[in-house]
Amino acid sequence: MILDDRPSIEPPLASGERVLGLLETDFDPAGRFAPGRLVLTDRRFLARGDAAGQWSEIELGPELRLRLSDHGGVGTLELHAPDARIGRWRYLMRRQEQAAEFTELARRQLAGIEHEPEPGPRCADCGASLAYPGAPCPACDATEPTQDTAPATWTLFRLWRFARPYRGSLAIGFVLTLASTAATLVPPYLTMPLMDDVLIPFQNGQPIDPGLVGMYLGGLLAAALLAWGLGWARTYILALVSERIGVDLRQAAYDHLLSLSVDFFGGKRTGDLIARIGSETDRINVFLSLHLLDFATDVLMILMTAVILMSIDPSLALATLLPLPFIVWLIHLVRERLRTGFEKIDRVWAEVTSVLADTIPGVRVVKAFAQEAHESGRFRAANQHNLQVNDRLNRTWSLFAPTVTLLTEIGLLVVWGFGIWQIAHDRISVGVLTAFLAYIGRFYTRLDSMSRIVSVTQKAAAGAKRIFDILDHVSSVPEPADPRPLARVDGRIELQGVGFRYGNRLVLHDIDLRVEPGEMIGLVGHSGSGKSTLVNLILRFQDPVTGVVRLDGTDIRDLGVADYRRHIGLVLQESFLFFGTVAENIAYGRPGATRAEIVAAARAAHAHDFILRLPQGYDSLVGERGQSLSGGERQRIAIARALLIDPRILILDEATASVDTETEQEIQRALDNLVRGRTTIAIAHRLSTLRQADRLVVLDRGRVVEEGRHEDLLAARGAYFRLHEAQARLAAAQFAPATEQLPAPASGKTAS
Amino acid sequence: MNGGSPDAHGGAVTLAFDAHGRLSLRRADGSVLDDVTAIRAFPLTAPDEGVSLVGRDGREVCWIETPAQLDPASRDVLATALAEREIMPRIERILSVSTFVTPSEWQLVTDRGEASLTLRAEEDIRRLGRRSLLIADRHGIQFRVDDIDRLDAGSRRLLDRFL
């Protein structure tokens, strides 16, 4: 992160002194960026971090204590003597692995435990431990910045991957383009003999030869018809191909999107992703079928015209082609500004869409809080931003087209002037000048339309870039190169030294947990204590930063992701139902299930009765746009869904949190059916839901603070006891007789 | 946990550093609480008001409406503690960017010296009002731009490509 000019001077070691560990630091004591290092030897700490570059030393002693903390992307290591702090070093969070290891080593050294080098593969960059040698480093992130300095236009060539399957059709299209362009160039050529052999002689008093005129006019008609037929075939074939490329691209982008890990979706806005897959692919499509085709035709036409003009009269041809470099230069000049402008418009457009995607699903909240005006203002801000960016771009853009037209006119002027001068000197005939004017009339209109390709290419390139952004994104839960087969699952889950952070916020710290096959454990703790994150790691929605999660002794990173998840049933707090029938929703995890199986699952989930009360029973439509179901009903469908896949492992994430007590009991009975015989990990806020658990694990701020049976934990009067007490009080308050005067809510104090 | 509810107002509390460089809080009743952490409640929108003192267990022990209510010595201690905790470099100049496609690596001059930043995606640039930005580095450091218009033209041109 820092420009790497670390002091290379070696620490001043005494003879026989051994270096045990090294921590690179990034800040000086005043908090300015400055490279430094902290060295641990078998006798002392050696630090070099101030501007003077001097080494300072602190002797090791059993009374010293180390403290590691972090905030806002900066880690701090403090060294305390019993009576005072004697050292503090700060580093960037990308060195956190290094820092944790250094601290561990130093603590052992302080405690007098002999240091033994730990075997195991490590990342060459940051020193994080890896699952296997050469594995992608979880700390360094799989997507290192690619040094992609090529302009965005280059991105369009990457579309070739999608064009490849259609290269046969593309070749035919190209030949047709060549032929149809050639056909359109015949008519101007015929004006030459028409002028010189028919009209000029007629003016000089000779009669018109009807046969000759008929022949030339027939030639003109034939050329026009040929150009029409070939043009049609070409456009049709290439449009078909481009449409198919667009479809493939859209599908590939969506498929890839689905393969990405959950945290990718957390970091992106839905509206933006929808726009990318929807409209961007369409824009690329239009570009390929319309603009690129036109451009190719234009280039061919210009080349062919240039050849024909040269063959008729080289000097006049040169005069005609003179303005061309200017126009090319102009195009190049504007190109840069337009491209960045269009990229910016895309981003602003995504911003506008995002506001919509935010507000429309949340419209009940908006209305309930009467915030229509606020939301309208938010939309107006995005809309105005859009306007500003467009205005700025249009300034350049509006100048562009008229300038090209002006240059065209000037070019024609040059040809007229030079042509008249040549005719006056009897170098060329009037027919040749007419032909030239006819050619360059087309020629310059093509240049004009060609200049438009700049903007559409940039737009398409910007769109392609945004799609390839998705396609290039590597899932942060990578599929193993050689996944181990997962035949039979017992359901033993082990977590060993598992740590996780979101950005720079430490969420889980060094968790060790073992769940035996068929055992049910309950995860308890305040919200934010890391319960859900722990479950995400077990589901492999995310990979831990440190440590491993094992299933039956195998690191789950060595198993195929889908293969592994197939053995896990998940019931969430808010069950998501897809638009479809109840039966389809129950069979979501196993589309091949028979009706009997679906009904059996629904019965076990205590959902059967209410499903039958729906207008079309199991065929009733649910989900968005469908029959509305209560939270408890949705929950039981979700339980049936989990039951149907008969998973070895079951995860209940606040499965009963959003329903009332009565429904909870119903769901509880359904859950009891579900849990039987499966390894179950349940998160519950309401401790009563966990009465069945074999063991409770209490988490607090990312650490396991207690573990044991309900009664034992109560007896221990620790964190669990306090949670339990708090809930018991709350329950008592809720069920207090209505006549009793409740104490007024404490004023002026916020519940923390 | 640490004995009762948060002080509603930090009225007569005083702050000091102990020998370990940790913040210690002395309440109006004379009780002393060691090792508290000062956290701004609104570090971006109202950095000068609303400071919470949090105990070792992560619970608030004292709420300071505004540092002005403290005695001058405590105010200085608080300012130092906050400054030490928050490293939010201000970008003064953008020397170069590796690419205009994210992820992109930027070389910067900040008020804390030269640094570099890896921008993971354009979304990591957060607009704070019309002219100022908060840019999150891939590893969590938040870089600030107080006023885009006060950057030099070159920096602005580079930055503009990402906005």
**Residue recorded with tokens 């790497």:** A4
* Token code pair at residue A434: 């007419």
| ipTM of the complex in this document | 0.82
Domain contains A485: no
- If asked whether residues A339 and A222 sit together in one domain, one would say yes
Please state, in angstroms and rounded to a whole number, the distance separating the CA atoms of residues A220 and A203.
22
- If asked whether residues A545 and A586 sit together in one domain, one would say no
Average pLDDT for residues A533-550, to the nearest whole number?
Answer: 88
| Triad A359, A362, A365: Cα angle to 5° | 115
Q: How many A-B residue pairs are in contact by the CB < 8 A criterion?
A: 114
- If asked whether residues A433 and A509 sit together in one domain, one would say no
The per-residue pLDDT of chain A, averaged, comes to 80
- Residue of B6, B8, B115 lying closest to A1 (CB–CB): B115
**DSSP codes joined into one string, A539-576:** TTSS--SEEEEEETTEEGGGB-HHHHHTTEEEE-SS--
Q: Where are the domains of chain B?
A: 14-85, 91-160
Ranked by mean pLDDT, the top range of A260-274, A412-426, A429-443 is A412-426
| B116/A3 Cβ within 8 A | yes
Closest residue in chain A to residue B124, using alpha carbons only: A267
Using an 8 Å CB-CB cutoff, list chain B residues near A73: 87, 137, 139-142
| B138/A92 Cβ within 8 A | no
Using an 8 Å CB-CB cutoff, list chain B residues near A340: 100, 160-161
What three-state secondary structure class fits A738?
Answer: coil
**Binning pLDDT at 50, 70 and 90, where does residue A222 land?**
very high
Based on the structure, what is the number of domains in chain A?
Answer: 4
Please state, in angstroms and rounded to a whole number, the distance separating the CA atoms of residues B36 and B22.
7
- If asked whether residues A602 and A544 sit together in one domain, one would say no
* pLDDT score of A751: 37
- If asked whether residues A342 and A466 sit together in one domain, one would say yes
- If asked whether residues A379 and A468 sit together in one domain, one would say yes
- If asked whether residues A38 and A113 sit together in one domain, one would say yes
- If asked whether residues A113 and A72 sit together in one domain, one would say yes
Domain contains A270: yes
- If asked whether residues A338 and A373 sit together in one domain, one would say yes
* pLDDT score of A146: 40
Q: Of the residues A86, A119, A142, which one is the last residue of a structural domain?
A: A142
- If asked whether residues A304 and A399 sit together in one domain, one would say yes
The domain of A510 spans: 491-567+649-658+678-735
Domain contains A751: no
User: For the segment A272-328, what is each residue's pLDDT rounded down to a tens digit?
Assistant: 788 788 888 888 888 877 788 788 888 888 888 888 888 888 888 888 777 777 767
**Least confident span in A181-190, A517-526, A618-627, B88-97:** A618-627
User: For the segment A393-407, what is each residue's pLDDT rounded down to a tens digit?
Assistant: 888 778 777 877 787
Using an 8 Å CB-CB cutoff, list chain A residues near B139: 1, 73, 92-94, 504
| A73/B141 Cβ within 8 A | yes
CATH value at residue A260: 1.20.1560.10
A742, pLDDT greater than 60: no
**Least confident span in A326-335, A407-416, A487-496:** A326-335
Q: Of the residues A439, A472, A505, which one is the last residue of a structural domain?
A: A472
**Residue recorded with tokens 């902290």:** A38
* pLDDT score of B92: 92
pLDDT < 50 positions in chain B = 1-10
Domain contains A673: no
* Token code pair at residue B58: 């992560």
Give the closest-approach CA distance of A304 to chain B in angstroms.
38
- Residue of B59, B112, B139 lying closest to A1 (CB–CB): B139
User: For the segment A565-616, what is each residue's pLDDT rounded down to a tens digit?
Assistant: 888 888 887 778 888 888 888 988 888 888 888 888 888 888 888 888 887 7
**DSSP codes joined into one string, A328-378:** HHHHHHHHHHHHHHHHHHHHHHHHHHHHHHHHTTTHHHHHHTT-HHHHHHH
- If asked whether residues A126 and A178 sit together in one domain, one would say no
| Cβ density class A93-120: b for 16+ within 10 Å, e for less | bbbbbbbbbbbebbeebbeeeeeeeeee
**Binning pLDDT at 50, 70 and 90, where does residue A232 land?**
very high
In A67-209, which residue ranges form alpha helices assigned H by DSSP?
96-110, 153-157, 160-163, 167-184, 186-193, 200-203
* N residues, chain A: 752
Domain contains A745: no
**Residue recorded with tokens 């008001």:** B49
Domain contains A103: yes
C-alpha radius of gyration, chain B, whole number: 19
Closest residue in chain A to residue B141, using alpha carbons only: A73
Backbone angles phi, psi at A76, to 5 degrees: -130, 130
* Token code pair at residue A729: 């009080």
CATH value at residue A617: 3.40.50.300
pTM of the model: 0.61
Q: Of the residues A142, A173, A192, which one is the last residue of a structural domain?
A: A142
Output the CA torsion sign for A534, A540, A543, A546: positive
Of A144 and B112, the one with more pLDDT: B112
Closest residue in chain A to residue B157, using alpha carbons only: A340
- If asked whether residues A689 and A601 sit together in one domain, one would say no
Domain contains A217: yes
Of A32 and B130, the one with more pLDDT: A32
Tell me, rounded to whole angstroms, the distance of Cα A737 from its chain centroid. Answer: 53
| A749/B99 Cβ within 8 A | no
Helix, strand, coil percentages, rounded to 5, for chain A: 55, 15, 30
Domain contains A159: yes
